[in-house]
Amino acid sequence: MKYRLSNIKELIKLIYETSPGYFIVLLFNTIVGSAGIYINLWVSKIVIDQLVSAHNVSMCFKLIILMVASGAILMLIDNLMKYIVNIKTPLVREKMKKLMAEKIMELPYYKLEDSSFLDLKERAMFAINEQGAIFNIIYNFAEMCKNTAIVISIVGIVLSFSKVFVVFLLIIILCMFGLYFKYINYQKEFYDNLLLLNRRESLYRDISYDKKYGMDFRLYETKKLLSERYGFFLDKCCELMDNFNLNKGNYLAFFNIIDNIIKIGAYGYIGIRRFTNLFGDTISVGSCVMYVNAVSNFSSRISKISENVVQIKQMLKYLEPYIEFMEFNDVKYEGIERLDEPIREIRFEKVYFKYPGAEDYALKDVSFVINQGDRIAIAGPNGSGKTTIIKLICKLYSPTVGEIYVNGKNILCYDTECYLDAISAVFQDFKIFNYSLAKNITFETEFDKKAEEITDKVGLNKLVEKLPNGMDTIIGKEYDKDGIELSGGEYQKIAIARAAYKTASLYIMDEPTSALDPITELEVFEDIKNIIESKTSIFVSHRMSSCRMCDNILVLDRGKIVERGTHDELIQKSGIYCKLYLAQSQMFSSKKA
Amino acid sequence: MKLNNSLVRIYKYINEYERRFLGVFLIFTIAEISYSFLNAIIPKMMVEALYFDKEETNFTEIFLFFLVSMCLSGYIKTITLNISNSKITGIKNHYAKKLFDKITNLKYQYIEDADFLNNNNSTFSVVEDYDGGIEGVCHILFSLPANFILCIFFTGILGKLNIIIVLALLIDWTIKLKIYKRFSNRMYSKKQDIGNSKRHMNYYYKISNDFNFGKDIRLFKISRNILNDYINEINKYIQTLKNLYKIQLNLENIDTVAGMVCDFIMVGILIFSVWKGTVSIPYFTMYITIINMLKTSLQNTNEDISKLLCELPYIDDFFKFIDESDLDETNSHDPIKLKNDVRIKFENVSFKYPNSDKLVLDHMNFEINTGEKIAIVGANGTGKSTIVKLLMKFYQPSDGTIKVNDTDINEIDTNCLRLLYSVIFQDICIYPFSIQENITCCEEDFDERKLEISLKNADLYEKIEQLQNGVKSKLIKSFHPEGIDLSGGEKQKLAIARAIYKDAPIAVFDEPTSALDAVAEEDLYKRLCCLLENKTVIFISHRLTSIRFCDKIILFKDGTVAESGTYTELMRLKGEFYKMFKAQGKYYEI
């Protein structure tokens, strides 16, 4: 329960932050809404009583003017409320998405590769995007406030009507609540099931639009099966809804009957007083109309309040994964030490590393030192742990056992954000953003001399000449349809340029040329050499050839460093490196193998 | 007002397949009208019985009558309304399925066209929305007639009191309709702007949520940048909405004021009549109730009509899409006899992507014979992958012809043509099906022995043996809680098993191995060639070394075939291939 309450608090805070105005209008809506009903009840009583005794028609007119005008004002405020809900709903939704985006970008990286976390994220988004949770909460919250105020404002009238009838009313309302709780539980179960089905259904829909799946199912005739399954989920959804709606209809119809019994019962009670002396004196015509209206309003508003509460509870439940996601806190120790100097030395000491959830160690007993100005290569067959070392150096993960020292201090002591200032990298699976070319390199709006030099060096200048808006051309079509799609090689060059632009003391190149054809690869390789010059750098490559230009080579095999040394030393050793190198170089020997 | 075509179509569908829905609708309308009618007369009857009639028995009768009739009609109306909900979902689902089938059969080129998907976004959401779209419109249509009849009915009763009231109501109603019509037009005209804003917001949302962007975002500290841009886009979007809804607010306020004037006229006349003695007190209570109910009914009717007007253009778009979408044609010609010996010939094929001026292929000529092991190599962007898309008829050549066994592929039924190929794409697609379904692409009608052989050949058999449910294990854990996830290598093996199972005469490998080093890649290719011994195999690669064993190597350059021949021939030629080969081998010279 505490958890629920904190959810509501969080949400209200969020709505308040996105728009304080909402609450003012909410207040108005509540006050004027209840006042409107109150005025209506009294005015109709007075007017009728006046008309019956045919006294004061001008007063009647005045009162009617008051009633109609208050009704109109209420409508005006209602319009404003609708306007605000219309605006706030998308605003709050987008802000929540933004907060989530912010959260994701701040999370420790290792969380991102955790598949259960990914699933939580998907669930969190689903309620916000697909189930109209935000709208329902905002709307029902406003309605609930208004209905509560109305109930409170007319409770006096109802009490003055009759104590006996109030007891009758209370008993019926209590019965209603009992039923409602049963109904709530039923509804909860239903929505849990529905949510699951809806998620599956929407995944199928995503597949149908997807480019990569698009080719696949057109070729393999999977579309029949897809269509069958999609239909199956749709039917199941419908079946579930059918049951639910029948049940819900029964509940609601029952509530409707209770409403009617209360309303007509009120007439009956008035009749008893009129024709017998059982409960008291006769009630005037005006009061009769007023009481009946008050009573029926009273009971219908109470059932509306319970409906609002159910809706809000339901929607908050939908938002639970979101709150859970947002409340996730990294318990790991985050360093505070600032790295203000360049990286002079990186030292791995007996580092073991296991990916979360994995059984085997990805790195075993890895120790090495990188000094300022070194050019290190990490070589080895697929899956030997090359990229894992890079992830550890970038502090994306921390070692399971053993320590990594940077400039003599444990890597964990450093403030991650500050530490990463010292590193620049081209990752194996780098991403280029749908920004302008200039912004993709500098991540600033202006484009300085240094950036220009670098674009020349990596040979992007040829590309710039071809582009319609030069450096300001938007890359990629996803953001802007006038954007330009580039080839794999060109993307890779941009990635290299942006890594080179960043002022860092360590440069990491993880398979920087894997997607390139031989000629482009050679070109890019020369560019990288030009740019890195004598800075500290780490190269990872399948291609043994790139190791030759490095001072020191670490050869990994199944998570262990099996050999180290310069190219010539390793060749002389005739170990695994030599074997790999020869296998590859043999491919290039002009004779057919 | 002319009857909208889309509505007629929805009606026809309901009439044909959801007959019961029409019955439910009829019962609801009757129950709703009687319920409202009873509500309207109950004060009059009760007040009359209580205060203006001396007979006691009469009151008890009236009391019982209302108790029973209102409970009954209220019950029926609530039940039917709720039953209609799931029926309406059923109707929506029918169209959702229809759209799904359209999209999966749509010509592939549209799927790759970002503009196409963006422009049609709001069209597709017609079957996704709960609130709007087909479902919303059906809900409206379900309750609109009852409301409408009640409006006319109440107006008629009030008109009997004084004709001026009808006049006032008519004027009020006309104003309302005009206002809503104007707003819905405005809303539809902003479709493009809103679409654009959404697209921009979605991009920022996507990259920040896409965990693959995680490393670069952290290293280059782009999160501030992204968030600022994101906020800007959100603000822009909200501003557009604000402008739009402000118009709505103003229109509605005008509407409210007009309604107020109308109320004054009605209530004024009513009180005047009572004062003059032409209306008795019981009737007065009835008229007041009717005025109140009429207001609600009018409000509902107007809201419904305005929403209907807002939604209809999208629904029209939806039906237009369903009718006019450009599908892969089937059975346009006799299916050709498929045999294992298939020759492919490119004759002067030129190609550029739609909306692009760049010629990707420029008068391309080559031939692939039965059983040949072919490698297509070339630099990035020379059109290697485009070839695959053309072969499958995902795109049409801009010029020239592609022939299979001397028949132009345009004359071959698309589905038949696609039976010729099994392709392993760069990105491997795993479906939320069982392993068996993922490989055989059908639910029951599969060949058990063939499946086993495929699994064994793809080196996946042992792994699956270990699974509790074997080939019946469901894939994608986030979809099937009891399911499993495959690793990257296993996914590739699954794709290979799928290709082997399909047993098509031609197998194509579209750079499936960029994660493998060259030595491992060559091993894989050689193994595949052994497995597919008597099939035609096409390897597409940017690596020159792993394809030396192929019968023929075709080198692409600038959209044409620069060289072709065996490895030895090409090396001896000392042309482009030799140059590329040397470039790659430069660092290996000892």
Residue A75, H or E segment: helix A57-106
Mean pLDDT taken over chain A: 83
Calculate mean pLDDT across residues A491-506.
88
Q: What residues contact residue A472 under an 8 Å CB cut-off, 6+ apart? A: A436, A437, A438
- Name the H helices within B106-190: 108-111, 114-119, 121-124, 133-161, 163-189
- How would residue A367 be classed by pLDDT, with cut points 50, 70 and 90? very high
Contacts of B211 in chain A (CB under 8 A): 104, 112-113, 118
Kindly give the pairing relationship between strand A409-410 and strand A401-406: antiparallel
What tokens appear for B156 in the block?
């008629």
Of B117, B130, B380, the CB nearest to A520: B380
Instruction: Name the closest residue on chain B to residue A18, using Cα atoms.
Output: B235
C-alpha span between B414 and B424 (Å, rounded): 19
**pLDDT of res. B590:** 45
C-alpha span between B423 and B506 (Å, rounded): 8
CA B160 to chain A, closest CA, distance in angstroms equals: 21
Rounding to the nearest 10 degrees, give the CA dihedral for residues A82, A87, A93, A94.
180
CA B74 to chain A, closest CA, distance in angstroms equals: 6
What tokens appear for A216 in the block?
């696949």
Q: Would you state the CATH architecture of domain A5-327?
A: Up-down Bundle (1.20)
**Residue B566 vs residues B86, B341, B538: alpha-carbon distances, Å:** 65, 21, 14
The answer to whether A434 and B203 have CB atoms below 8 angstroms apart is yes
Q: Is A333 exposed, middle or buried (0-12, 13-18, 19+ CB in 10 A)?
A: exposed
The answer to whether A362 and A385 have CB atoms below 8 angstroms apart is yes
- How would residue A389 be classed by pLDDT, with cut points 50, 70 and 90? very high
- Cβ within 8 Å, pair B82-A519: no
**pLDDT of res. B31:** 96
**pLDDT of res. A591:** 45
C-alpha span between A258 and A280 (Å, rounded): 25
Q: What residues contact residue B279 under an 8 Å CB cut-off, 6+ apart? A: B161, B270, B273, B287
CA B69 to chain centre: 46
A93-146: per-residue pLDDT in tens? 888 888 888 888 888 887 777 777 777 887 888 777 766 777 888 888 888 999
Chain A contact present for B65, CB below 8 A: no
**Residue found under tokens 């393999």:** A220
Chain A contact present for B176, CB below 8 A: no
3-state secondary structure of B334: coil
Calculate mean pLDDT across residues B238-263.
88
Mutation for testing the B interface, residue in A17, A109, A218, A555 having most B CBs under 10 Å: A218
Instruction: Name the closest residue on chain B to residue A287, using Cα atoms.
Output: B47
- How would residue B147 be classed by pLDDT, with cut points 50, 70 and 90? very high
CA A437 to chain B, closest CA, distance in angstroms equals: 15
Chain A contact present for B164, CB below 8 A: no
CA A162 to chain B, closest CA, distance in angstroms equals: 18
Range list for CATH 1.20.1560.10 in chain A? 5-327
Chain A contact present for B119, CB below 8 A: no
Global confidence as pTM: 0.83
- How would residue A11 be classed by pLDDT, with cut points 50, 70 and 90? confident
Q: What residues contact residue A521 under an 8 Å CB cut-off, 6+ apart? A: A513, B583, B584
**pLDDT of res. A1:** 37
What tokens appear for B534 in the block?
């008597």
What tokens appear for B440 in the block?
């055989």
A460-491: per-residue pLDDT in tens? 888 888 888 888 888 887 787 778 878 777 88
**pLDDT of res. B3:** 60
Of B26, B37, B76, whose CA–CA distance to B297 is shortest?
Answer: B37
Of A52, A219, A544, the CB nearest to B392: A219
**pLDDT of res. A383:** 74
C-alpha span between A558 and A365 (Å, rounded): 11
Least confident segment among A293-302, A438-447, B32-41, B141-150:
A438-447
- Cβ within 8 Å, pair B63-A270: no
**pLDDT of res. B350:** 93
Contacts of B522 in chain A (CB under 8 A): 587
Of A200, A434, A488, the CB nearest to B203: A434
**pLDDT of res. A369:** 92
Does residue B26 carry a pLDDT above 90? yes
A192-219: per-residue pLDDT in tens? 788 788 878 888 888 888 888 888 888 8
A-B CB pairs within 8 A amount to 420
Chain A contact present for B502, CB below 8 A: yes
User: Which residues make beta-bridge pairs with A565?
Assistant: A553
Of B214, B220, B519, the CB nearest to A583: B519
Least confident segment among A130-144, B62-76, B442-456:
A130-144
Mutation for testing the B interface, residue in A52, A92, A247, A267 having most B CBs under 10 Å: A267
A63-107: per-residue pLDDT in tens? 888 888 888 888 888 888 888 888 888 888 888 888 888 888 888
CB half-sphere exposure, B269, CA atoms < 13 A: 18
Range list for CATH 3.40.50.300 in chain A? 333-422+506-593, 433-503
Sign of CA dihedral B260, B265, B267, B271: positive
Contacts of A118 in chain B (CB under 8 A): 211, 478
**pLDDT of res. A137:** 84
The answer to whether A169 and A161 have CB atoms below 8 angstroms apart is no
Homologous superfamily of A333-422+506-593: P-loop containing nucleotide triphosphate hydrolases (3.40.50.300)
C-alpha span between B320 and B301 (Å, rounded): 28
**pLDDT of res. B35:** 95
- Cβ within 8 Å, pair A253-B131: no
Higher-confidence residue: A352 or B407?
A352
C-alpha span between A266 and B341 (Å, rounded): 89
| % pLDDT > 70, chain B | 94
Higher-confidence residue: A92 or A389?
A389
Least confident segment among A10-14, A41-45, B79-83, B84-88:
A10-14
Homologous superfamily of A433-503: P-loop containing nucleotide triphosphate hydrolases (3.40.50.300)
Calculate mean pLDDT across residues B143-152.
92
User: Which residues make beta-bridge pairs with A423?
Assistant: A506
The amino acid present at B252, given as its one-letter code, is E
- Name the H helices within A351-460: 386-393, 416-420, 437-442, 449-457
Chain A contact present for B68, CB below 8 A: no
**pLDDT of res. A464:** 84
| % pLDDT > 70, chain A | 94
**pLDDT of res. A148:** 92
C-alpha span between A39 and A293 (Å, rounded): 12
Does residue B329 carry a pLDDT above 80? no
Kindly give the pairing relationship between strand A536-540 and strand A506-510: parallel
Instruction: Name the closest residue on chain B to residue A246, using Cα atoms.
Output: B83
